[in-house]
A and B are shown apart, each in its own frame.
Chain A
Amino acid sequence: MNMLRRHWPWLLVLVILLAFPFLFYDWTKGRHSGFVLTLMSEIGVMAIFALSYNMLMGQAGLLSFGHAVLFGLGAYCAAHVVNMVKAGTIWLPTELIPLAGGLGGLFFGYVFGWLVTKQRATAFAMITMGLGELVSAAALMFMAFFGGEGGITIDRVMDTSLVGVRYTSPWQVYCLVLAWAFIAAALMRLQTQTALGKMANATRDNFERAQFVGYDPRMVRLMQFTLSGFFAGIGGGLYVLIYEIVTFDTVSAAKSANALLAVYIGGAGGFFGPILGTIVVVLLQSGVSLLSNAWLLYVGVLFIVMVMYAPGGLIGLIFMHLPIWRAGRMRELLLPYARAFPPALLVLLGFVFMVELASFTTIGAAQGKRFTIGGQLIDTTAPMPWVIAIAALVLGALWLRHEARGFRQRWDELMEGSKRAQATAAPKPQEAVA
């Protein structure tokens, strides 16, 4: 009962995630939307991956450019294990395949961690980048393990399930992903509360001081790196079960960049930031990429905007409201937000319109696509649409700037007010968010 009272948000999220696919359920045919389930499974896997990345970046202050190596190698290990189970060489329940990926990630995490954690800061980042390239290149050279360009394919339908499920449908796979995502997230969350987790924070904050309280910072980082590899590997193992194939894409720099994007956009400071970031990045990747050729550009712009204006990420933006929320004055922000909304929307629309015009004149034209809005064909070579787009962008920006000033003033007042209220009313100290 006590457990339930403390951890109900986790349970609530689980219920919501289980119910959500039914919104897209096709009742006439009696089946789930494969697209939605795959999308949500992808979010689950990438959330584990991003959280494991944040064990390095957020918790230990280690900026890695090659984290996908651990994810991908975990995936390859899991794929080989699946094939061995299929061949009857070993026996392992389907449900525990991700664990095989995790152990692979753990092993390579230790090996690579031993190499990279000798270095700090820039040198660390550079070496992880080099490792990423090295493994990517090796993936095309060592056929037996990596299967060359074709990768390793598997058939996830095995008869070794612990619960009698054959994982023939995406729904069953989704449930497995969800279970593992919750287990992994909970374990990673708990790890932040241990001696190692706290000392990882300590070495991030002050590398040298950690030595003078008796810890070897290198050892702290190595263990943190290894554990991070374990969780990345679990993500890799699930990836194999979803797609039934693993190729060298999974170890590529692009995959590593995904984790970095998710963590930055979501925010490295709070534990749940990377999950938020993952949702945004995967939706952009899988959803927007269907609508637009320029989806990668949107990801890039979003990343730049976040780094410039909200270095704490989405979670940082949410936490910023906490003092005002505590003072019970959120309602007073409604009007300022409502006022800032139209110009922000105008800027966004202007920008998107311009990008789409550009992308349709270039890639779109080459693909023979036509730009239509609500059935209306847009001539991308005519000046008018461009003028409208640029006008919306510029006017919107000026208007937004004007509104931002008022917003900031109101914000500062509210902040000041709630701080004073806190100081006088409750001596309860505020929790450190970062």
Chain B
Amino acid sequence: MSVSAVELVDVRKNFGRTEIIRGVNLSIPRGERHAIIGPNGAGKTTLFNLISGRFPITAGSITVNGQSTADLAPQEINRLGLSRSFQITSIFPRMTVFENIRCGLLWSQGYRYSFWRLLGTQKELNRATDQLLERLKLADRRDLQAGLLSYAEQRALEIGITIAGGAEIILLDEPTAGMSHSETESAVALIRSVSEGKTLIMVEHDMSVVFGIADRITVLVYGEVIASDAPAAIRGNAAVQEAYLGTVAA
């Protein structure tokens, strides 16, 4: 059996005395598009923060590509091939759109902390950056300050920074939140294309997006997994209906 991309074993997280994540077990195989859904406050974003190393876990264990992430800093987890986006747009606002994307590429292309190679002369790197900008449909915004982009464009840039490094495992936190219907449609197309052949884990509220993209759906309620199954099975699951979908449908 091959190693899971991400595996959570009895993961718990307390903030003070409040237990936010209460023993989550989850195994996400390579190449799967996985969606995590659940009502507000269920701990979805917290779960992302634990997997990506933003917060340390209280108990349990998380492995990424078979390696334990305990005691690893976020950048070290990133270097294992896991990259994430943020629910609240998190870009480099005073740098240009092009530079934002290039920042996402630098480490994976081996530039590390180089202070001798001039990036302007790195043809391969700049070509890769421009190619990604094309895919993100941000090419005509290339030299604009990222902070001046529209909201939807910033969301696309957020995804761009996340996938630029070529990570095998991509975590997207509510990528379509706050978008209009047409913006959501193009975002879905983008997500589908960038996650081709990769492992995708996403938190999403828009059910059309979730059922449109996901191979498997995990439902998180009050820090516990109440179901994790194929979309069709989730739709028919009574517990999920009651806890979550029912309230949305009503």
Q: Bound state CA distance, A1 and B81, in angstroms?
A: 45
Which chain A residues in 202-221 approach chain B with CB under 8 Å? 202, 204-206, 208-216, 219-220
Q: Which residues in A have their C-beta under 8 angstroms from that of B183?
A: none
Q: Which residues in A have their C-beta under 8 angstroms from that of B54?
A: 208
Looking across the interface, which residue of chain A has its beta carbon closest to that of B118?
A: A193
Q: Which residues in B have their C-beta under 8 angstroms from that of A191?
A: 115
Contact with B along A299-316 (1 / 0, CB 8 A): 000000000000000000
Which chain A residues in 142-194 approach chain B with CB under 8 Å? 190-191, 193-194
Q: Indicate whether A227 reaches chain B with its CB closer than 8 angstroms.
A: yes
- A429–B92 CB distance below 8 A: no
Looking across the interface, which residue of chain B has its beta carbon closest to that of A219?
A: B113
Q: Which residues in B have their C-beta under 8 angstroms from that of A208?
A: 54, 74, 90
Pick from B84, B99, B118, B120: contact of A212, CB under 8 Å:
B84
Q: Indicate whether A434 reaches chain B with its CB closer than 8 angstroms.
A: yes
Pick from A199, A206, A427: contact of B140, CB under 8 Å:
A427
Q: Which residues in B have their C-beta under 8 angstroms from that of A227?
A: 115
Q: Which residues in B have their C-beta under 8 angstroms from that of A210?
A: 103
With A206-B91, A209-B92, A429-B141 in contact, is A198–B78 under 8 Å at CB? Answer: no
With A195-B106, A198-B102, A211-B73 in contact, is A205–B95 under 8 Å at CB? Answer: yes
Q: Which residues in B have their C-beta under 8 angstroms from that of A190?
A: 118
Q: Indicate whether B39 reaches chain A with its CB closer than 8 angstroms.
A: no
The number of chain B residues with a CB under 8 A from chain A is 44
Looking across the interface, which residue of chain B has its beta carbon closest to that of A193?
A: B118
Q: Indicate whether A26 reaches chain B with its CB closer than 8 angstroms.
A: no
Q: Indicate whether B208 reaches chain A with its CB closer than 8 angstroms.
A: no
Q: Bound state CA distance, A196 and B117, in angstroms?
A: 9
- A429–B143 CB distance below 8 A: yes
Looking across the interface, which residue of chain A has its beta carbon closest to that of B171?
A: A212
Smallest distance from the beta carbon of B15 to chain A beta carbons, Å?
A: 18
- B83–A429 CB distance below 8 A: no
Pick from A195, A206, A220: contact of B117, CB under 8 Å:
A195
Smallest distance from the beta carbon of B218 to chain A beta carbons, Å?
A: 22
- B113–A220 CB distance below 8 A: yes
Q: Indicate whether B107 reaches chain A with its CB closer than 8 angstroms.
A: yes
Which chain B residues in 99-116 approach chain A with CB under 8 Å? 99, 102-104, 106-108, 111-116
- B113–A213 CB distance below 8 A: no
Pick from A196, A211, A223, A432: contact of B75, CB under 8 Å:
A211
Q: Indicate whether A412 reaches chain B with its CB closer than 8 angstroms.
A: no
Q: Indicate whether B188 reaches chain A with its CB closer than 8 angstroms.
A: no
Q: Bound state CA distance, A198 and B101, in angstroms?
A: 12
With A194-B114, A429-B142 in contact, is A212–B95 under 8 Å at CB? Answer: no
Q: Which residues in A have their C-beta under 8 angstroms from that of B94?
A: 201, 204-205, 432, 434
Question: Nearest 9 A-B pairs (CB), nearest first?
Answer: A214-B107, A195-B111, A205-B92, A196-B115, A211-B74, A432-B145, A429-B143, A195-B114, A214-B78
Given contacts A205-B92, A214-B106, 18 further A-B contacts (CB under 8 A): A191-B115, A194-B117, A198-B119, A206-B90, A208-B74, A209-B92, A211-B75, A212-B84, A212-B162, A214-B79, A214-B108, A215-B75, A216-B73, A223-B113, A429-B144, A431-B143, A432-B143, A432-B145
Q: Can you identify 17 A-B contacts, CB atoms within 8 angstroms?
A: A194-B115, A194-B118, A195-B111, A195-B113, A195-B117, A198-B95, A198-B102, A201-B94, A205-B92, A206-B91, A206-B93, A208-B90, A209-B86, A211-B73, A213-B83, A219-B113, A432-B145
